[in-house]
């Protein structure tokens, strides 16, 4: 797995204004989940437009992980649980 540093968090300005929202949800790359399915999950769970969902999926695939949501801790826990329910490996953490 190619775990490149996820230095591109600022490239997701349309998720949430990240000024005072110090928690993030990450999705980690794995060799089992299908690219089409991961895109479908991002569209279905977050309601992201297809283009944005595909970009996040490619970030996960190529960089090893991607920040898929930003917001309050409680919301990140809800997102993480839902994404794990879909079989993706999602985690939440403080946005450092």
Q: Summarize as ranges the residues that interact with other proteins (CB under 8 A).
A: 1-3, 28-34, 36-37, 40, 44, 77, 80-81, 84-87, 89-94
CB closer to other proteins, 15 vs 90:
90
- Alpha-carbon gap, residue 21 to 36, rounded angstroms: 30
Dihedral angle at the C-alpha atoms of 91, 66, 44, 74, nearest 10 degrees? 40
For residue 87, the minimal CB distance to other proteins (Å) is 4
Which CB sits closer to other proteins, 1 or 19? 1
Q: How far is the CB of 69 from other proteins (least distance, A)?
A: 13
Burial class (CB in 10 A: 0-12, 13-18, 19+), 94: exposed
Helices H, strands E: what count in the chain?
3, 3
Provide the minimum distance between the beta carbon of 22 and other proteins in the complex, in angstroms, as a whole number: 13
């Amino acid at each position: 797995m190619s775990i490149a540093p996820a230095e591109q968090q600022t490239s997701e300005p349309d998720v949430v204004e990240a000024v005072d929202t110090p928690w993030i949800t990450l999705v980690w790359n794995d060799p089992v989940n299908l690219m089409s399915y991961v895109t479908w999950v991002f569209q279905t769970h977050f309601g992201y437009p297809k283009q944005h969902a595909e970009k996040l999926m490619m970030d996960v695939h190529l960089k090893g992980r991607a920040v898929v949501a930003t917001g309050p801790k409680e919301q990140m826990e809800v997102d993480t649980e839902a994404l794990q329910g879909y079989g993706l490996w999602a985690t939440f953490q403080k946005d450092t």
